[in-house]
Every structure is written in structure tokens, then in C-alpha cells.
Structure 1
Amino acid sequence: MVHIPITQLLPDFLGETIDGGRLKLVQRLGSGAYGIVYKALDTWSPPHKPVYFAVKCLKKYPVGEREAVFQARELKLHKMVSGHSNILTIHRDFTDGKHIFVVLDYCPGGDLFGVITNTRPFHRNTMLVKESFTQILDAVQHCHDRHIFHRDLKPENILCDAEGNNIRLADFGLSTQVGFCSDYGLGSPYYMSPESIAAEQHGSYSCRHSDIWALGVILTNMISGRNPWKVAKLEDECYLSYLGNRDFLLNSLPISKGANNLLKQCFDLHPEARPSIAQIREAILELDTFFLTDEELVHASSAQRVIAQYYATPTPEGELFSPHHSDQEGTHCDPQASGFPSPDPEEVYLYNTAPFDSPCLAPPAKIQSPGDSSSLSASDADSSSLSASDVSSAVSGRIDHPSVFHRFPAPTLKATQISEKLTSHPRNLWKRAMRRIRAMGI
């Protein structure tokens, strides 16, 4: 089935006034698999002190259809956590009958991806990394405390100011209240845990611990401007090198031993062995630095020095990258547009269909409704916010408590599997992995 980008299904509302004449859509900020986001002027605000919001426009689907179920779940779960200072606030939502409009905070700085790739303020700035990353941790902790698991943590879904501070976690389109699920292959490959990728696995994986893995990748992005690997599978040379030598990142990226030790814990192959968010927060605050010293850089590998030098230099103003959000879920922003070297021809994205069409998600249960409401409020979503795994797991009637689910053993790689894969590769595997990681900006 051919996937039609949502932008082709929605009219262009730029310049239109909505919400009873209150909001004027003055700028298009971006688009994704779900809809289009506009900057909106609050016409009720005083001219000398204008107030702006972000307005997300979605296509409205008939009640009970799977698309409507996913939209309702996203709104419901986002509203449940939007009161936190580090989570994007939903102010209200309404419909014109054909479309849904969600009014959100406007963050003029953009997203964390753009900050890392453009201004690069985190380079050798341990204090800023601590300030910003602990805000990310606090946002995710707030979600987990309410048994809401994001499942799509990545810099594009984290809004901030131009300095990389004042964090706001956003985009709850793949979030769930199910602690253990069998929806494999959701999200962006760079940030997915190995146990959440393998669709051939039977049983389920922990959404909580999968979020922890993604946090480790985000921290790697912030302190090095690079991804540790493209996808956590044996076929990926960087990931395979990491499995063969857990200090691969320490030897490949300009990061400190303390940062490397923390990342190794976040990337533990046994999900339950990964640290809790509270433990990560404590470790972050205790670290003296995330970076190599000048003396250490002198004796570092050429790849480490090149990466450090590149990340130290902000993108020239004329080449600033404006994050482009693909119309297909799971695809990554164009690394060429960000100023990073072009990825090698082997670059492949695994999951590039929108969640509504993804074979990884079975249709949710058909929702019986006495009638269509004018707006998708939290109460509207109460009975229509369950994915296939939500429905199958809700027999107990306690979908907000992951502890009630049967815990399947997490898939683990045997040492023999890793050894066989390592020996089957050429002897220059490590050198090839180093070359790839040099070119692999976030």
C-alpha cells in the first residue's frame, strides 16, 4: 500500500484565523507523519506584547477508526503529563469537523536536534549538559511515574531554547501506558533498544527500559554530536564493535571515562540491568566532565580529534540547518542538510511507514460510541486510547500498572553469536566502524 504523506491530505491553513477568530496562523513550523505545525498569533494579546502558540493540525478521522484511536491516545496521554515544567503544555484542542487543532506552547528555540547540529553549545560545556540533560530526565521520570512510556525519545522530539536549555518534551504519538508490549520496530532506528527492534522475538519487552536506552543515545548526541551506531543489530558494524569491546565508544568518541561508564550502563544488553532515571541523574551530577581534556585530545586517535574539532565549530549562519520533519515516521533528518558528512551508501532506515499503516501494530479494538463529539478531550479518549497490546493486556482492568503483566524474558545475545559475527567480518572491522562513526552525525 502506498503511503500518502499527511501534508497531501491537509489544506494549507497558513494565514487563516481559527479558534473563533482568536488564533492567526502566521508561520509553518514543520510537518510530520501526523500533521502540520504552525506558529499562531494570539490576536487577543496586546500589540506591544504579542503572545504566540504552536498549533498542530491533524486530519479528523471517524470515531472508532484506528487513526482516531491513535490520535485520541496521544492527546489523552500528553494531557496527563503536560503540567510538568519540562513537558510541552497542551492548552486546548478543538475541531472544525474535518480537522483537529491542538494548541501548544510555542518554543522559539526549536528542537534539540537543531541546537546540536547548528549552534553546538554543549561541546565541552559540562554544566550546560548537566542542566539540560537533567531536565530531560525529569520530564521522562514524570511520565514514568504516571506509567506513561514515550517510546520515541530523540532530539527532534525535545524542544528547547536557542542555548539548548529550558527543555520541553513533546510528541507523544507512540507513547503507551503498557509497561511491557510486543509492538516491535516503533520509533527511529538510531534510538531504539535492541530488544524493541527484533520483530522475530516472541513475548514482550519493557517500554521503561527501552526509554532508558534512548536516553543513552541522546546523551551521546549531546556530548559528541554523533550517534553511537545506526541501529542496535549485529549487522551494524559500529554496534558489533561495541559488543566486541564495551569501550568502543571511549576509543571512538572524544568522551571522558566517566561518560563512557554511564553510557555502558544505559546500553546494557539486559534491560533490567540498566540504571533507573534517578541513578542516571545522580551519576550525571557527580561527573566532573563528559569530555576529553586538552592533554587527552593530544594523545587521542585521529577520529576522536576530528570529531571534537568539528563539534567545536558552530555551523556558519548562512548554512544553518532548519530541522525538516519527514512525512514518514522513523526516518531521520537529512544529515547532509545539517552540515555533517554524507553517510555511506549502506545507510538504511528500517521502519519508514507511518504508525497508522505499520504492520507492527494490529488494529485496536473497534470503539462503540453513541455519537461524535466536537473535540477530542481527555474524557473522549478514555475508552479509545488503547493499542492492540493495550487491549490484550487490559483484561486485568489495570492498564496503568505495568507490574500486573507477565514479564517475558528479554531477548539476549549469546557470547557465541557475537563471537561468530566478529570472526566472520574482516580484520579491519574496527577501522571501518571508526570511519563510519566519524561520518555519522545525529
Structure 2
Amino acid sequence: MEQYEKVEKIGEGTYGVVYKGKHRHTNETIALKKIRLEQEDEGVPSTAIREISLLKEMQHRNIVRLQDVVHKEKCIYLVFEYLDLDLKKHMDSSPDFKNHRIVKSFLYQILRGIAYCHSHRVLHRDLKPQNLLIDRRTNSLKLADFGLARAFGIPVRTFTHEVVTLWYRAPEILLGARHYSTPVDMWSVGCIFAEMVNQKPLFPGDSEIDELFKIFSIMGTPNEETWPGVASLPDYISTFPKWPSVDLATVVPTLDSSGLDLLSKMLRLDPSKRINARAALEHEYFKDLEVA
């Protein structure tokens, strides 16, 4: 850690404290994430070190760059490029989102980052507005924390005992699926898309069952016909209330028809029917976007 200096604490992430820091030799501002590990006594698992080392290879303009990994006895510091604004803070403070061009540009950049990660077989699993970072000077957006869930797991609570949000979690995960893949991230993107347009979360559940019911009451309760295999997922219960699906145009009323079409393809309950990131980038919703 000698080459890095902590400047100030800037937040508490899922895994540990986040500091603003600087590189002693170059003076470059960086973000330092201290990863606290569950088994404090055992040190850092080698699997986690391997996973994280692979992430240094990931280089894309829509991904927050992992510059370095510093291994101390009981913890790991991850050194990232520094961005001071996230999408949640930006949505809370900026009138920009009345402008659908900004929403479209941000959504496109999210998808571009995800398509890159998925093409490298890396999932995020915990996408939310708080880990989408924005560079105010250029209005460019970058995904943070990609690949960390696989290295460290997703805790139920953060190390400060805050509950990790369920609002963006895919239904297959909520239903206890052990094997899931890239569609879980596309579900999260759909939730974030709707939230950018509506300026409020789409499925703000406060427990796993409440989250499922919020999803089903809009998307319809799934069954073997609409989602083959759903009944054999560990946490599926045949006595779930049977909600019909609601027209998404009533849920996201200011979104145009091509936007609604794309959103509905991201929010398919059956993950095998969900659109993938590459196909989403080609969707007609983006045809009038000037791509930078």
C-alpha cells in the first residue's frame, strides 16, 4: 500500500469501506476499496485472488478500470479509477432525466459495458444505480464492481449491517435458482431503465417474498406454461397469488413504444426468453442515438 495514500472515506460499499486516495508517485486520484472478508482468521481465499486478478484484464470505456490489487494479511484493497458521481445520486439531484435522450444514452452505455463483460463470461449479479458511475465532464457512464460477486459472494447485509438491495434482483435468483447466467444482469438493466424514466424504483421490495410479489403483480405470476421449469425452482410455491400481467405502458407511461418493447424484452420472467445485451444494443429504440 506504500504507493497509495488514503485521502478521505467516501462511502461504504457492499464489501467494505471505500476511500478516495491518490497515487504517491503520479498524484492521480484513485478509489480504494477495502474488501473485508468473512473468515477474518483465515486470510484471503486464493480463489478470490485469482478471480480478482482476472478482472484487471477487463478494459472497456464503460467499465470502471481495476488498476491494482493490494493484498494485506486480512483484507484486499482494490484500486480503481476515481469517479465521484453515481447514477443514484445523479437521478436524485439532476433534472436531466426529464430528457429521454440522456436516459437513452446512459442505457446504451450500460448495455455496451455489459455486452463486453458477458462476452468475457463475467457476470455482475448486483447491478444497481449505486454502482453505475458517471463522469460529469463527458456524461459517460461506467459499470463498477463487475465480477466481485463471484469472487466474494453477495452478502445479505453489508459489513455495516445495511441490507443489500433486492430491487434489481432477477426472479430466478429470488426463486432460489442455483444455476443462473447473463440474463440476471439484463433483468437488473430493465429495472434501472424503468427507474431512469419514472424517477422511482420499479419493484421496491423490502424482503425476498415482497420483491417477488411486486414483480408478479406487474409482470404476472409465472407458471409452467409461461416459464417452463419454474415450478421446480427451490423457492417456488404453487400457492403464490395468481396475478395477471399489466400493460407496461400504464407502468412507465412516458416511455415511447420502441422503449416499451425493449423494456418488456428485458423484463421477461423466463430468463431464456430475456433479450441479451448485444441484441438490445441493436434494438430500434437506439436508432436515433448519436453513438459516441
Report the TM-score when normalising by structure 2: 0.74
How far residue 205 of structure 1 moved from its aligned partner, in angstroms, is 4.1
- Measured against aligned partners, the alpha-carbon deviations of 1:59-117 in whole angstroms (never above 9, x if no partner) come to 46889959635642551342242x11211111112234344222210112x21111112
Could you give the per-residue CA deviations for residues 348-386 of structure 1, whole angstroms, max 9, x where no partner exists?
xxxxxxxxxxxxxxxxxxxxxxxxxxxxxxxxxxxxxxx
* Amino acid in structure 1 at the alignment position of 2:169: M
Contact 1:115 1:163 in 2 (8 A): no
**Contact 2:20–2:82 (CA<8 Å) still a contact in 1?**
yes
Please list the CA deviations of residues 284-316 of structure 1 after superposition, one character each: whole Å capped at 9, or x if unmatched: 31368xxxxxxxxxxxxxxxxxxxxxxxxxxxx
Q: Which has the larger radius of gyration?
A: 1
Which ranges of structure 1 fall in alignment gaps of 5 or more residues? 1-18, 177-182, 289-442
Structure 1 equivalent of residue 166 of structure 2: 189
**1:132 CA drift (Å):** 1.9
TM, length-normalised to structure 1: 0.51
Cross-structure match for 1:42: 23
Q: 1:275 aligns to what?
A: 275
Deviation at 1:252, TM superposition (A): 3.1
Structure 1 distance, partners of 2:88, 2:257, is: 25
Cα contact 1:194–1:233 (8 A) shared by 2: no
Residue 94 of structure 2: which of 119, 123, 142 is its match? Answer: 119
Q: What per-residue deviation string (whole Å, max 9, x for no partner) do you get for residues 308-333 of structure 1?
A: xxxxxxxxxxxxxxxxxxxxxxxxxx
| Cα distance in 2 between the residues matched to 1:65 and 1:133 | 41
**Alignment partner of 1:132: what SS?**
helix
> Deviation at 1:223?
1.6
1:129 to 70, 90, 103: 103
Q: Residue type matched to 2:287 in 1?
A: E
The partner residue of 1:198 within 146, 170, 175 is 175
Pick which of 136-145 and 256-265 moved more.
256-265
2:115 match: 141
* CA distance in 1: counterparts of 2:195 and 2:134, whole angstroms: 15
- Indicate the residue corresponding to 1:286 in structure 2: 287
Does the Cα contact within 8 Å between 2:125 and 2:184 map onto a contact in 1?
yes
Instruction: Confirm whether residue 54 of structure 1 aligns to residue 31 of structure 2.
Output: yes
Looking at structure 1, the residues matched to 168 and 182 of structure 2 have their Cα atoms a distance apart, in angstroms, of 14
TM-superposed CA distance for 1:39, in Å, is 0.8
Q: For residue 131 of structure 1, report the CA deviation from its aligned partner.
A: 2.2
Residue number in structure 2 paired with 1:388: none
1:42-61 Cα shifts (integer Å, max 9, x gaps)? 3323xxxx521111123468
The one-letter code sitting in structure 2 at the alignment partner of 1:53 is I
> How has the CA–CA distance of structure 1 residues 97 and 238 changed in structure 2, closer, same or farther, with 3 Å as cutoff?
closer
Structure-to-structure mapping, 1:221-236, within 5 angstroms: 221-231=195-205, 236=213
Question: In structure 2, what residue type is equivalent to 1:194?
Answer: P
> What is aligned with 2:83?
107
- Of 236-245 and 146-155, deviating more is 236-245
Distance 2:251 2:37 in 1: 47
Deviations 1:109-147 (A, max 9, x none): x21111112214222232x22322211111111111111
Deviations 1:168-225 (A, max 9, x none): 211132147xxxxxx9x997321112111112x6xx4432111111111111122221
Match among 20, 26, 31 for residue 12 of structure 2: 31
Shift in CA distance, 170/70, structure 1 to aligned 2, threshold 3 Å: farther
Is 2:131 the counterpart of 1:154? no
Q: Which residue in 1 is equivalent to 2:245?
A: 245
Asked if 2 retains the 8 angstrom alpha-carbon contact of 1:91 and 1:103, the reply is yes
Once the two structures are superposed, the pairs formed by residues 4-23 of structure 1 within 5 Å of their partners are 19-20=1-2, 22-23=3-4
Count of matched residue pairs: 252
Q: Distance in 2 between matches of 1:61 and 1:228?
A: 32
**What CA distance in whole angstroms lies between the structure 2 residues aligned with 1:113 and 1:164?**
18
Alpha-carbon distance in structure 1 between the residues aligned to 2:218 and 2:37? 46
CA contact under 8 A between 1:57 and 1:99: conserved in structure 2?
Answer: yes
Bigger fraction of residues in strand: 2
Inter-partner Cα distance in structure 1 for 2:122 and 2:214: 33
Q: Is contact 2:56-2:68 (8 Å) kept?
A: no
Distance 1:154 1:72, change over 3 A: same
Larger relative contact order (CA 8 Å, sep ≥ 6): 1
2: CA distance, partners of 1:99 / 1:167: 29
Matching residue's letter, 2:286: L
Tell me, yes or no, if structure 1 residue 211 matches structure 2 residue 185. Answer: yes
Change (3 A) 1:218 1:77: farther
Q: 1-side partners of 2:165 and 2:288: how far apart? A: 29
User: Could you tell me how far apart the structure 2 residues matched to 1:69 and 1:140 are?
Assistant: 26
Q: Distance in 2 between matches of 1:216 and 1:35?
A: 27
Letter in 1 for 2:170: S
Secondary structure at the residue paired with 1:226? Answer: coil
* Offset, 1:257: 2.5
What root-mean-square deviation, in Å, do the aligned CA atoms of Structure 1 and Structure 2 show? 3.2
Mapping of 1:368-379 within 5 angstroms? none
User: In the alignment, what sits opposite 2:64?
Assistant: 88
SS in 2 for 1:174: helix
Aligned amino acid, residue 49 of structure 2: A
